[in-house]
Structure 1
């Protein structure tokens, strides 16, 4: 089973343009993410998929691997174009704005497919328990709810489930936007037009659910920083400083 990682990277992010080229210590955000994924040693190859000449040059100037793509609405669509002619079985989508993703969550995702002898799972992703109420209410934090087997029921920027019954403790989970696909499922995904829920929420994995596909969610206790807005970049820099001092 050949397993690769692809990091979708666009320069003009809507909420924070140019964020992947911001400095994080001595490296840019995208270079930090790329190097950290390579250093896990979990993948046969690691690529950045981008339509930006700036990001392409940032990765390739030091010997990294990058693939130029056309413009795309979602990272998964971008990756689908990038891997069309790459020989692989499993594609792990690592977000370029999640620079501190660790080895173990990625290993957990890969193990889903290694243990799936029947081949019924085409997509897996990560979730983490939300500890802060402000994250539950933050629309930049995507929440996920699952069934009793761990398959996703819905993703939303709203608080789900809604805590109508005050006497019942409610647990909320944040979706970490890291996906692992079977290559054929990824290519099939890219052929499907967006439907209303994905368009409304701007959450690409809703396309899978709207077409009746299953997403296996894996709970992790990894805590990092996803960089969506400038304040997140400052949190990432603080985390980097704390790590360097420890």
Structure 2
């Protein structure tokens, strides 16, 4: 957030005021839209003066940047956790697997058409391992982002604005690129071919952002059918990234 601030608050009271302003800006953007929101309405919602707002934020775009930075920091933790899941950390599970083995890698391997322990070549076993890791990454990313959006629906118009202004378009592109960079690392860690990681991550995140608008509404309520279809679409895309066993 510091990059969007006119000056960094030093006192606890000032820091609390900045937090209120950012929270008020997010609520105002979600309620009336970024273009219709004003610094005066944001200051009023935060119960502070317009002069206090301008002490820290020179314009409305600075508030938008601060809101986006807050969401991006949290989403970065979600996608970082996906990388950890692929690396074998047991704390994360694949939420779309209602029954079966408790370990995410075992659950994903059970869905492979050619199990790793079946007779076959080493390349088939390698493909099975990549499949297990990649499905674990996919489950962690999709469920993590859906959960976060349901808890913080104000992120929806930032990730995929429906009526984008120039500012919102720039914010969406920046956020999607940052998330895609993390997903790219997760794909690489899962064993996706190096030349496919970057373009695949970009497509994956763009589709996720677009469908997220339909999966979670403005109040943070999940639409089960849309969530299911989101998982299906991206799950099919993930399957296409698996290496062909020899």
Rg bigger for which structure?
2
If each structure's helix is expressed as a fraction of its own residues, which one has the higher value? 2
> How does the TM-score come out when normalised to structure 2?
0.23
Structure with the larger RCO, 1 or 2 (CA within 8 Å, 6+ apart): 1
TM-score normalised by structure 1 residue count? 0.23
Q: More strand by proportion, 1 or 2? A: 1
